[in-house]
Each structure stands twice: as structure tokens, then as C-alpha cells.
Amino acid sequence: MRKAQLTMQDIADRLGISKSTVSRALKDHPDISDETKQAVVKLAKELDFQPNTLALSLRQKKTNNIGVIIPEIVHDFFAKIITGVQEVAYNSGYNVIMCQTNESYEREKTDINALFSSRVDGMLISVAKETEDFSHITNIYNKGMPIVFFDRSCDLIHTSKVVTDDFDGAFQATEHLINQGCKHIAHLLGPKNLDISISRLEGYKAALTKYGIEINENLIVKCGEGTQEEAARVTDLILEEGDTKIDGIFANNDMAALGAMQSIKKHNLKIPDDIAVVGFSNWQLAEIVDPPLSSVSQSAYEIGIAATKLLLKEIESNENEEIKPETKVLKPQLVIRASSQKKK
């Protein structure tokens, strides 16, 4: 700040009263006379007085800030979560400090320590892909920092968490394909080291089993990191060299689904009539591509809302009462679009 800042002392001086009176008047303390109150409020408004919340926070040992650790803002999914977080926080008088780790462990460590140093009242964390050692998180947890994980959690730490029911989403998607008449449904698998990939695979298998369709391991194919190109390539293989003629694809994510669609079109097959396609995540692109892509929506906004509510509850709970961690599993919703609705 270039200029000296305006303080309560300044207001007090001008009015010939003490700064404690100013403080009380500003928070409408019953002891203060109406006359004094009005004078103070008037002058404060005139001078556009903004109290220094640093001093307040230091004094009260409470900042009314919460920190959010997020891997990547540019992902629709996380951006929507943030929006949910800010909504709840804002309405409860909290500010949100966001840090983007770019999936880097080092960055995550630094960010979390910085948030701790600035004494946020609690943290919402989605861990970076790189992170395997969680001591930076257990450290602050042990010091009493309220933490809620969202989307990507860490089982080592016994806190509240909010996650998507990936199994259920995959089940819904696969069941929908079956209901559309698909008998030979391929699955484009995500990276095996992520829990979500496994859960989605399990959901896919469970749906097939429920409807008495045999699981064909040849139709379950890895597509690396799940990029469009990789997905297109593996779909090419399925269509050209596979011994089974498929009529449906459930992809681990929307980018992969898109790659599959490109491959299908290239082979002059029709979507959805020859092959129906369903993705996962319901990114913006899903409604934009041609044909619009059916996809499992993870209700990111709701995840943000739920996680923040849990965190604020914890922050505002009485110090004495023991908080028992809750795990909220949000059911995803299948959004059906043209890519999977076969004409009957």
C-alpha cells in the first residue's frame, strides 16, 4: 500500500473519542449511544473505511478464509466444483483461496504449507496425480486443520470426503446401452492406477452380468492416458481386427469417446445405429460434438457444494465435540443424447 491506511484510531481522533468506542460502534454494540454510533458510522462511510482483516484475524485466531487445493482449473470439472465451493463459502461469510497444483507434488506441498501459514480456517483438497507421500497433509491434519477431500482423496487420513460413485455411473451407462439393444459393448479403459478407472470398469462388468451378457475381455481395451488420438487408434483396431462386431462403446471419459466416434465415422459406420457411444464426465464438448454425446455427469457443482458444507460444519463445530468424518458419495447422472439413442 502506497498511502498510509485509514484505521479506527484515525476515526477516533477526528471524533475525539477512543478507538474502542469506534470498534464497538461499528459492530452495533448495545452499550454505545445512538448518537455516537451514528457519528462513527457516518464518518466511516465518508472516509470509506475498510477494517484491516489481518489484524482482526490475528486477534481472533480466525481468518474466515478457506483454502482449496485443485489440480487443474482448466478442466471443466474442477472449474464447476470451484463455483460450487465459492457459492457456499460466500453465503456463509468465507473467502476462498484457490491454489492450482498443476498435478505437481512439489507444488502441492508448497501450496498447502502456504495456506497453513496464512491460517486458513480449513482446506478442501483434491490431491495431485503425482502425490504418493501424504505427510504434508497428515502434518497439518495433526495440527488440527480441518480438511475435506473431494474427488481424489487419500485413504490414509480419516477425514470427511466427497466423491462420485463411479461404479454406479458406469453401471448406468452400460445398462442404458443394453436397453438400447446393444449386445457387444466395448469398454475403453482408463489408466489402471486410478481408482476411478477400476470402479468404472467394475460398473461396466456388473451391468453386463446383470443382463446375462458374457464379459468379453477382448472388448475391454486400454487407451493409455485416455486422449482422443489413443482412443481413435484402439477403436480402429477393434473395428478392423477384432473378431467381434461391436454395437456399443462405453468410454472411460469424454475425450476417449470422442476419439472412438472419429474412428467409427472414418469406418463409415453410423452413430448410434451401428455403434452407440457413451462417455463419462459430461464435459462441455459432449453437447457440441456431432452427434451429441451421451455421457455420465458427475455433478461437479454439487460436489463443490457438499464438500464446502462439510468443511464449514467442521470449522464451526464446537471445539469440544468430536467430529466424526462423513463420506458423501454423490450419484452421477447419465445424460442421454443422440450418440446412444438407437431408432427402434
Partner DNA sequence: ATGAAAGCGCTAACAA
Partner DNA sequence: TTGTTAGCGCTTTCAT
Do residues 311 and 150 make contact, with C-beta atoms less than 8 angstroms apart? no
* Contact status: 192 vs a copy of itself (CB under 8 A): no
Please name every residue paired with 344 in a beta bridge, in sequence order, or none if there are none: none
Instruction: Please report, as residue ranges, which positions from 257 to 286 form the binding site for a copy of itself (by CB under 8 A).
Output: 258, 262, 265, 284-285
DSSP-assigned beta bridge partners for residue 150: 162
Integer Cα distance of 81 and 98 in angstroms: 12
The phi-psi region of residue 63 (left if phi > 0; otherwise alpha if psi is between -120 and 50; otherwise beta) is alpha
CA 41 to chain centre: 41
Residue 50 in contact with a copy of itself, rule: CB under 8 A? yes
Number of amino acids touching DNA (CB under 7 A): 30
- Which residues 223-262 are close enough to bind a copy of itself by CB under 8 A? 228, 258, 262
325 binds a copy of itself (CB under 8 A): no
Give all strands of the β-sheet with 122-125 in edge-to-edge order. Answer: 95-100, 65-70, 122-125, 147-150, 160-164, 327-330
| Residue 61 dihedral angles phi and psi, to the nearest 5° | 55, 45
Q: What is the largest CA-CA distance in the chain?
A: 91
Cβ-based nearer residue to DNA, 34 or 243? 34
8 near a copy of itself (CB under 8 A): no
CB of 33 vs DNA, minimal distance in Å: 4
Which CB atom, from 141 or from 149, has the smaller least distance to a copy of itself?
141
- 3-state SS assignment for residue 154: coil
Among 7, 23, 92, 139, binds a copy of itself (CB under 8 A): 139
Can residue 60 be called a binding residue for DNA (CB under 7 A)?
A: yes
Cβ–Cβ < 8 Å for 257, 265: no
114 touches DNA by CB under 7 A: no
**Beta strand pairing status for 248-251 and 95-100?**
unpaired
Q: Is 51 a binder of DNA (CB under 7 A)?
A: yes
Shortest distance in whole angstroms from residue 290 CB to DNA:
58
Handedness of CA 145, 149, 154, 158 (dihedral sign): positive
Residues 282-311 within binding reach of a copy of itself (CB under 8 A): 284-285, 288-290
Cell numbers representing residue 292 in the block: 451429441
Check binding of 242 to DNA (CB under 7 A).
no
Smaller CB separation from DNA, 38 or 135 = 38
What whole-number distance in Å separates Cα of residue 330 and Cα of residue 299? 8
Contacts with a copy of itself, residue ranges (CB under 8 A): 1-3, 5-6, 48, 50-55, 57-58, 61, 63, 65, 73-74, 76, 79-80, 82-83, 86, 90, 95-100, 102, 107, 113-114, 116-119, 121, 139, 143-146, 228, 258, 262, 265, 284-285, 288-290, 319
Contacts with DNA, residue ranges (CB under 7 A): 4-5, 7-9, 12, 16-21, 23-24, 26-27, 30-33, 35-36, 51-52, 55-56, 58-61
